[in-house]
Amino acid sequence: MTDSAHPLRIKAPAKINLFLHIIGKRADGYHELVTLMQKLDLSDELRLTIRDTPGISCSCDNPAVPTDDGNSAVQAAYAFYNAFAGRGRFGVHIRISKKIPVAAGLGGGSSDAGAVLRGLNILHGRPFTTQTLIELARPLGADVAFFADDHSTVLAMGIGDILEPCPPVEEYLFVLVNPGFPVATSWVYENYPLTFQTRNFNLPSFRKLPAGSFDPAWLDNDLERVTLKHYPQIQRIKDVLDGHGAAGSLMSGSGPTVFGLFRERRHAEHAVRVMERIGKIDGKYPLFAVIACAGA
């Protein structure tokens, strides 16, 4: 096969869940939720190369990432071409450079899928609206719709596919700490007892907040209790971040990545250094610690 267009490079940003509450379970097995999601400047980079013959292929610089039809980016390409009028005339090669840890609660796989939808739409002259891309994203996974959308911050409902734009949380730096082991999203949801939802649930009106007014007291994640129970390392990370200047800390998504909110870069940098020292002392897992900002 030969290339029929210059490759397109496109970013696939990580996300954090600043608030995540489970409100029920659907007949199809998906959980209904309400979550405030923020895209970050930490991102994978994808290179999409259109081919002049049909076929979808994928490669990745991380051997832990599948490159067959089990990869959500590949599934996104199939979804795009199944809906595209010229699907019989084109193919694509997807090259993924991973910066986002795998199975970390940061949405890396879903973001790669959303980037493929957005990138192929650009390469083929934007045949689809953003809303159509969101519709194509829905069957691919709960977070993919968010990454097919242009907004950096949303209140997501349903299974995470009903999106309402919110002001970005730009007033904080986010120190992300991943303890180096993966946690499967499916396992966390399977072990989440819906009886947890009987506690009081007060949802701030995120949509109406002025920019710069996010309160760390709103940090909340129903899934954190499931993952914490089996992985006490997560609580240790939270304790260290809180003890070194974080205004608040929380596990993102299904974990195990924890983030802390910092007003000042010097405090964030100090927290990263402390976490890196702890990672070297523990030595069991390759701890990942980085400072990120709100982005898209």
Eight-class DSSP state of 294: B
Domain extents in the chain:
8-165, 173-292
pLDDT in tens, 2-44: 455 689 999 999 999 999 998 887 777 677 889 999 999 999 9
Q: What is the pLDDT of residue 39?
A: 98
Helix residue ranges per DSSP H, the chain: 72-83, 108-123, 130-137, 144-148, 185-190, 224-230, 233-243, 265-282
Of the residues 15, 161, 222, 238, which is catalytic? Answer: 15
Q: Between 108-123 and 72-83, two packed helices, what is the crossing angle to 10 degrees?
A: 30
Cβ proximity of 158 and 130 under 8 Å? no
pLDDT in tens, 63-98: 999 999 999 999 999 999 999 976 667 899 999 999
**Can you say how many angstroms the Cα of residue 220 is from the centroid of all Cα atoms in its chain?**
17
Classify residue 132 by burial, with Cβ atoms within 10 Å: 0-12, 13-18, 19+.
middle
The verdict on whether 143 is a catalytic residue reads yes
Helices and strands, counts by H and E, the chain: 8, 11
Cβ proximity of 57 and 78 under 8 Å? no
Of the residues 11, 39, 112, 143, which is catalytic? Answer: 143
Instruction: Fill in the amino acid letter for 119.
Output: G
Q: In the numeric block, which tokens belong to residue 270?
A: 């100090």
User: 246 to each of 162, 172, 214, 268, how far by Cα in Å?
Assistant: 31, 10, 14, 8
The verdict on whether 39 is a catalytic residue reads no
Q: What is the pLDDT of residue 97?
A: 98
Q: In the numeric block, which tokens belong to residue 228?
A: 């914490």
Q: In the numeric block, which tokens belong to residue 226?
A: 């499931």
CATH of domain 8-165: 3.30.230.10
CA 74/CA 67 separation, integer angstroms? 8
DSSP 3-state helix, strand, coil percentages of the chain (rounded to 5)? 35, 30, 40
Run means of pLDDT, 10 residues per run, the chain, 296 residues: 72 96 79 92 97 91 94 97 81 96 93 98 95 95 93 90 90 94 85 62 67 88 91 92 96 94 96 88 78 88
CA 18/CA 39 separation, integer angstroms? 11
CA 2/CA 99 separation, integer angstroms? 28
Superfamily classification of domain 173-292:
GHMP kinase, C-terminal domain (3.30.70.890)
CA 271/CA 92 separation, integer angstroms? 42
Confirm whether pTM is higher than 0.95. Answer: no
Q: In the numeric block, which tokens belong to residue 254?
A: 């299904």
